[in-house]
Chain A
């Protein structure tokens, strides 16, 4: 091994703690950065590849066949801005009942296109299994709609039996199923025909481009001919959002990690140079050149960083594989690995940053003159800010506390780095606490439809605790909804209740079916959180989910026409709500309006608020005893909600990253205090020789750091709040929704005070070990230290 190599190895070996801290910070920053960039790439790539290969439709539009002819629709292919088009295809919403579904369940409403050609100029659908439909009686299902249905399965659409001949995938989600046009026409008999056109646009990079394309097509046709459109950007966002929603906070953590990396490397290397000034003098006296000395100190930082960087990249890939599996499976691209270039470029960039950070103090080491280096520390120096320190020394506190308070002023640069480490830690904690609170609020909002003390559900697809008949038993006889409602109303424990009915309607701006949630009764306790506008007050008003509102390109105050089986209702949009049900594609209204669209609609669930002192268990048992065998089941409100696994995963990851960053911040403090304690070993020996007790020594060291922690905690906390207020809406945007203010404003004064005190905790935790080392250091040996 060369002389330089030996010096580097000895340097790393002597500074095991500092090397560990550098490796850890590099690990965290690389893991978060690789994961963030990797997720962006990985989540985007499968959709982009499939969409490009299929020549997917940028704009999928549905038309009212009574207002525009097939020829007029075909002519829209020549509209300015349209690059290519396919269609018109007959399209209809058809309930398709799978064999395993319980009696009375007609199955989900699928958007079915009548299309003879699987691969026209636009939307060349991939066949995952089987073949394309060639004749009447055959149906091809979309992979999302029927991933596990075997080829050859007989399904029913009303009275018509259909054979599943293929499973296909349209990247742009143009339809849920396909059949030959004649078969669809037969199924859709008696209704005004609806048609679908698929367009590729010259410019389709933004929502504005898609809006322009939609306007151009609509302008080429008679008024109100367009009944619904879907942008590929909405689909892409839906596909990407599962993984992409992680990106904003991972990016933030990566930036914090990088900041801490730079800080810790700067502290460690400059500390190493300061502590080893005499050693540098000796090296130079022995013949080391300035360049060799500089290289030695850069290498001492880079070596442990390499270990951290490699481990960070491995960690990111393991976590990334877990998060992107679903996206990969959707598009059949196997495991969605983080791209190799991300695995190489990000660690290389972090290493370069660390090397550059280390270079500055290393160059200082290289430039030191041998004689200057050999004599450093022998001449007494009073240090800096003497007046401030003297004034602090006069405070009516014990002398060790006074000395501790004054100490930060002696080494302002070191105090600044210590403060920065604490601030980063406080920032990470504040950010993580805020994110987790926001996610908890979102989780609570997801469960808003389980508001109340008791939830009574009737009809198919119940919920937890649903009564399931034994195999071979007679199918359940559904309960009469009126009797269920009456039972709830008359139950002695009922204080108030509201009912909810779910139906499917068509909304302009969204293809396929949209969920309509109709409320009956006192719904205040079950109201979704509003983002804009207000909750509906009665008939004629509707509240729209944020994501759907964006897809509709509408805003609060507009009027929307809802359609179902030829019936229409015009409602005024009075609010934008934070609704995550049905992927955020839902409208919320009064049940009376819902019945105008879909006659016979009755509440399928009741949310009951009990009178004070009522026994919820007894209430639940009474309902289940009476209606349990008729497909009705009741549960207590607090057990009705289902927690989102994505949110749980995000909360776990946020907590883990924050804990790691706080650990690094503490290690940064520890590292600084160790360095400081080593330098002050002689002074500590003097103090102890003069009678300073171990407890006084510990309090002096802790006070010197705690004061900095207290001061640095406040700006760190404020930065954490600012970061949270910036990142959280971004996360909402990646998921396609705006967020209510209450989800973002999660910090109250007491929480902020607590978080600001976190700086004190981080500083104290980091300084505890070196403070006890200082107290235990041998006085006689310390006094021999120069």
Chain B
């Protein structure tokens, strides 16, 4: 068994008021896995994702991703870590409306200082692979929800991250677009991409995850292979 790509040990996250959002959660995700994190609202799913991405810091415990102790990083190092190791996809896409599709996708590479030609080639490759090449010069406002999420996935994969994090990736999509994104994630995982996705959607989890983790009140209530969960 290879070393885990994600290794959370007794992670607790407490906000100013109320019970802990995460309470001594331990979790290991290995390369090539597609893990769906399920749970009701307020169960700590998004907090878990933010901690893995280094967007937030745990109150206690440790978060290690790709051998990097994420919770010990400075803001600057955290930004570099995300550029190199993590791609993120969000429920509301979070595309920049004033940049066209190509520029949105190029952004992570430009921030990382990737050579221009290499970045352009990679963007073209992703645009073709994800079936959105015809929208290269379009602005996000003109695309359908499914197309926007494809752009978001392309942007997340731009720097060839080892880990793709997806937060409710189909939450804002209609059924057809949701199915489209589900298939995309499944294909990516089939190609070896490690994915952690947070969702309410059991069908999405069943359709593209190899493993299901269920959170309840900040604790891991269940951690089983997806086939068992469904």
Contact = CB atoms under 8 A, between A and B. Distances in A.
A683 B96 contact: yes
Given A382-B141, A691-B80, A780-B50, A686 B110 contact: no
Interface string B106-148: 0110111100000000000000000000000001110000000
A439 interface: no
A383 B80 contact: no
Contacts of A691: 79-80, 82-84, 108, 111-112, 159
Interface in A738-786: 775-776, 778-780, 783
B190 to A, nearest CB: 25
Interface in B71-118: 75-76, 79-80, 82-84, 88, 90, 94-100, 103, 107-108, 110-113
Contacts of A380: 95, 97, 139-141
A689 B97 contact: no
B201 interface: no
A693 interface: yes
A223 interface: no
Contacts of B107: 399, 687, 690
A632 to B, nearest CB: 73
Which label, helix, strand, loop or mixed, suits the secondary structure of the A interface? Answer: helix
A400 B96 CA distance: 14
B198 interface: no
Nearest to B109: A399
Contact of A690 (B82, B97, B113, B141): B82
Interface of B: 46, 50, 53, 55-56, 75-76, 79-80, 82-84, 88, 90, 94-100, 103, 107-108, 110-113, 139-141, 155, 159
A401 to B, nearest CB: 11
Contact of B98 (A382, A695, A779): A382
A780 B99 CA distance: 22
B79 A693 contact: yes
A7 interface: no
A-B residue pairs, 4 tightest by C-beta? A691-B83, A399-B110, A693-B79, A380-B141
Contacts of A693: 75-76, 79-80, 111
Given A382-B139, A382-B141, A780 B79 contact: no
Interface of A: 379-383, 386, 389-390, 393, 398-400, 410, 682-683, 685-696, 775-776, 778-780, 783
5 contacts: A382-B97, A410-B98, A686-B94, A690-B155, A783-B94
Contacts of A383: 97-98
B168 to A, nearest CB: 12
A778 B141 CA distance: 26
B142 to A, nearest CB: 9
A689 B82 contact: yes
Given A390-B100, A685-B94, 20 more contacts: A379-B141, A380-B97, A380-B140, A382-B98, A386-B98, A398-B113, A399-B107, A399-B111, A410-B98, A689-B82, A689-B94, A690-B83, A691-B80, A691-B83, A691-B112, A691-B159, A693-B79, A694-B76, A775-B75, A778-B56
A381 B141 CA distance: 6
B13 to A, nearest CB: 11
A383 B107 CA distance: 18
Nearest to A683: B96
Contacts of B108: 690-691
Nearest to B77: A693
A383 B140 CA distance: 12
Contacts of B103: 390, 393
Contact of A780 (B56, B94, B97, B140): B56
A318 B141 CA distance: 59
A685 B103 CA distance: 17
A165 B127 CA distance: 106
Max chain B Cβ within 10 angstroms of own Cβ: one of A379, A389, A690: A690
Given A683-B96, A696-B111, A779 B140 contact: no
B207 to A, nearest CB: 25
A389 to B, nearest CB: 7
B97 to A, nearest CB: 4
Contacts of B76: 693-695
A694 B75 contact: yes
Contacts of A399: 107, 110-111
A393 B46 CA distance: 33
A379 B55 CA distance: 26
Nearest to A399: B110
Contact of A689 (B84, B88, B113, B140): B88
A689 B113 CA distance: 16
Contacts of B53: 689
A695 B111 CA distance: 11
Nearest to A697: B79
Contacts of B56: 778-780
Max chain B Cβ within 10 angstroms of own Cβ: one of A393, A410, A775, A776: A393
B178 to A, nearest CB: 20
B75 A689 contact: no
A410 B97 CA distance: 11
Nearest to A385: B98
A381 B97 contact: yes
B98 A690 contact: no
A765 to B, nearest CB: 23
Contacts of B112: 691
B30 to A, nearest CB: 24
B111 A690 contact: yes
Contact of A694 (B79, B96, B111, B141): B79
